[in-house]
């Protein structure tokens, strides 16, 4: 595997996504396209970004009844993303159907607790306990359902890796030391995330909003 850095192109603007992707493609491992990009540009936009030659992480966080999620993933076969996200909170049956419907080369990973949530946020939606407790529960469920791995914050990845030795761990909320946290509540530095067991790092603003995105990507890569 090449670089663990996947750049989050969190924009609805296709031109902007292509421009940033083109600038960083020689020093990162892949590009993450999220919901706002997909809603604005659809499959055609994903294919254009894929034309840059990097693996695509399609971060749609699918969450619906099992049949609907399975059918949606079948409709994505033409895109053959390297990584695809679903919500573990959809339950075991939904996760099983999602994995069964995915292309053979696609890693299906389950979102556990969003990095924008903390313990108070979980309590407000009726989930008792700390985020790491909920991540552990959902990680076990994802493993039982046959998913390839999970998405979790850097605070939980070491424990998740200890429980699931061969899991694929996606860590968002990654910020260089001293970087702006933005809307993330649980962040980690790139080096610390890798040391804790992260398989790939999702990094957005520290690269995409830099004066020189390629230089920013290279600087982060140099710390790994």
Q: Is 32 helix (H, G, I), strand (E, B) or coil?
A: strand
- List active site positions: 61
- How far apart are alpha carbons 61 and 10 in whole angstroms? 14
Strand pairing class (200-203; 107-111)? unpaired
Distances, alpha carbon 3 to alpha carbons 10, 42, 49, 199, 219, in Å? 20, 27, 18, 10, 13
Residue environment code for 25-58, b if the CB has 16+ CB neighbours within 10 A, otherwise e: bebbbbbbbbeebbeebeeebbeebbeeebbbbb
Do residues 60 and 106 touch, judged by C-beta distance below 8 A? no
């Amino acid at each position: 595997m090449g670089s663990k850095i996947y750049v989050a192109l969190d924009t609805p603007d296709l031109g902007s996504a292509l421009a940033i992707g083109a600038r960083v493609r020689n020093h990162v491992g892949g590009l993450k396209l999220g919901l706002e990009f997909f809603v604005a540009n659809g499959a055609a936009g994903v294919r254009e970004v894929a034309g840059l030659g990097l693996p695509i992480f399609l971060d749609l966080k699918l969450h619906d009844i099992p049949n609907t999620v399975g059918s949606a993933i079948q409709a994505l076969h033409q895109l053959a993303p390297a990584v695809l996200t679903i919500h573990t909170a959809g339950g075991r049956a939904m996760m099983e159907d999602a994995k069964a419907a995915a292309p053979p080369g696609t890693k299906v990973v389950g979102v556990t607790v969003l990095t924008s949530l903390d313990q108070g946020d979980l309590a407000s939606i009726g989930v008792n306990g700390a985020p790491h407790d909920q991540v552990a529960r959902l990680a076990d469920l994802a493993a039982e359902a046959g998913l390839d791995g999970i998405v979790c914050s850097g605070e939980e990845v070491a424990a998740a890796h200890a429980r699931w030795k061969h899991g694929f761990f996606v860590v968002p909320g990654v910020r260089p030391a001293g970087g702006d946290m933005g809307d993330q509540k649980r962040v980690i530095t790139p080096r610390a995330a890798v040391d804790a067991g992260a398989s790939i790092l999702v990094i957005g603003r520290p690269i995409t909003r830099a004066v020189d995105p390629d230089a920013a990507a290279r600087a982060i890569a140099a710390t790994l």
